[in-house]
Amino acid sequence: MGGTASTRRVTFEADENENITVVKGIRLSENVIDRMKESSPSGSKSQRYSSVYGASVSDEDLKRRVAEELALEQAKKESEHQRRLKQARDLERERAAANEQLTRAVLRERISSEEERMKAKHLARQLEEKDRVMRKQDAFYKEQLARLEERSSEFYKVTTEEYQKAAEEVEAKFK
């Protein structure tokens, strides 16, 4: 992720007072440049050579540092981008897992309600069958009761007639 891996072109310019350096549309103030110079481990070396080679070595060193800073910033952005992508993938994976669990729960509920519906339908058929059998038995018992009442009525009638007849015979014998 260093400066060699970066494909971004960096251009350097300085204004007439050499107070501000422009790096591909990014303006660095003298304050930032001074801080970059101070943080450099080879700062004493560049000062030694700057007197020999002039300001060009210092400018080259500064340009290298700016390029390194830009590459580091680019690497940070790329790292943040990768982190966000990973986070998005993780969220999507969690969302998919939650959706799958929800789908399974809905399917289980549908199966359960279908089983209950089928059971209720079966029990309704059984109840209708029992009701039909009971109506049939009720009709049979009513028919039997009607026959018994008819026989009882005939028996009562015959018995009453025989009693009347016997009573008349006894009365006729004693008269």
Q: Please tell me whether residue 28 adopts helix, strand or coil conformation.
A: strand
Closest CA to 39 of 7, 64, 9: 64
State the Cα–Cα distance between residues 160 and 166, nearest whole angstrom. 10
pLDDT tens column, 9-50: 556 566 666 655 556 556 667 777 777 777 655 444 444 444
pLDDT at 46: 44
pLDDT tens column, 65-90: 888 999 999 999 999 999 999 999 99
Judging by beta carbons within 10 Å of its beta carbon (0-12, 13-18, 19+), is residue 61 exposed, middle or buried? buried
Contact 66, 12 (CB under 8 A): yes
Closest CA to 58 of 70, 48, 68: 48
Helices (H), the chain: 30-39, 43-53, 55-173
pTM of the model: 0.40
CB atoms within 10 A of CB 50: 15
Closest CA to 5 of 62, 83, 60, 67: 67
Task: Give backbone dihedrals phi and psi of 21, rounded to 5 degrees, phi first.
Answer: -110, 135
Contact 23, 66 (CB under 8 A): yes
pLDDT tens column, 110-158: 999 999 999 999 999 999 999 999 999 999 999 999 999 999 999 999 9
